[in-house]
Amino acid sequence: MQLYSRFLRPVLFRLGSGDAEVAHHRTIDALRLVGAAPGASTLRRLFAEDAPRTVFGLRFPNPVGLAAGMDKNGVALPGWAALGFGHVEVGTVTWHAQPGNPRPRLYRLPASQALINRMGFNNDGARALAARLRTAPVLPMPLGISIGKSKITPVENAVADYRASLVELYPYGDYFAVNVSSPNTPGLRGLQDRGLLDELLAELTGEATRLAYRGVPKPILVKIAPDLDDAAIGEVIEVCATRSVAGIIATNTTLSRDGLAPADVATGAEQGGLSGRPLARRALEVVSFVHRESAGTLPVIGVGGIGAPEDAVRLMDAGASLVQVYTGFIYAGPGLVRGISRAVRATGAAPGDR
């Protein structure tokens, strides 16, 4: 991690005159080339660390996943595999292709090891992702697909919008994350309300059962916002239990600006969701609450504030079965993935296979 932070990260952070989105796209392009190279499988043997576990019926080679948002269109999947991830979640993808919000829309807050984004679900659309995954190589780890509502779709038509994406992408994902918690699509977070969420999940879990025919439906997970209070999270848990949802991803980005370093306060005024180190405490609280309130029956993927192996261990000790990284990966580099797996294996963190 020191090699990355001393040499590679400063180069990446200077690309595009400091435009974080330029560095993002250059990283994806580089990983796409890495994944296509003949030695990609050898590289995985260097980076990967075995710490296997089974969660919601899927076998993960280690507990560390790449969070949605990094590779929205699934263009660099073998590259992420080469870096040793235990799973990758692509998207968030919407039924309709959309450009997202105007740039600039991604900001670094280095003193806080954080990011603010208001990307707005920029992606090529569910049909384009399905076409790409149709010819993608077999991955050595599970693939998750995060689905969200298209911006042009009214909230009252959201169920049909989500369902169309699920049907199109169902053959290619190992699990599906229902994103109802991004702060950057108008009206989206309202889908976390009990009535709307129940309607949405009833349709999606029912559709997954129909698509599975007589087999076992692929897992449906729900990604929630850290800004919900305990009562609202409790309602989400109840709906998930009623609709046989396989797990919860906790958490998405936050609208709060608590915990920012003084040097980042000015940039922190930008609109969008905050991720990274300032989210660590809240993510830990939400993971612990979901694990406790569900009596450990609802697997949790912990996301938020993971910048070092010990952060992931704390989330797993609090009840997370798996973790995902995004912002921490940007600041700490690929060594973070192996470091977390080693720490988890050494400490025996996490409540075990689910």
Residue 86 to residue 83: CA distance in whole angstroms: 9
Residue 226 to residue 325: CA distance in whole angstroms: 16
Residue 123 to residue 97: CA distance in whole angstroms: 6
Give 62-82 as a DSSP string.
Answer: SSEEEPTTSSTT---HHHHHH
Catalytically annotated residue among 182, 275, 294, 341: 182
The answer for 91, left when phi > 0, alpha when psi is -120 to 50, beta otherwise, is left
Residue 82 to residue 47: CA distance in whole angstroms: 7
Radius of gyration of the chain (CA): 19
> What DSSP character marks residue 331?
H
Q: Strand, coil or helix: what is 345? A: helix
Is residue 244 annotated as part of the catalytic site, yes or no? no
Residue 26 to residue 82: CA distance in whole angstroms: 17
Give 6-56 as a DSSP string.
Answer: IIIHHHHHHGGGG-HHHHHHHHHHHHHHHHHSTTHHHHHHHH-----EEET
Residue 221 to residue 314: CA distance in whole angstroms: 22
For strands 220-224 and 273-276, give the pairing: unpaired
Residue 98 to residue 150: CA distance in whole angstroms: 8
Catalytic positions? 182
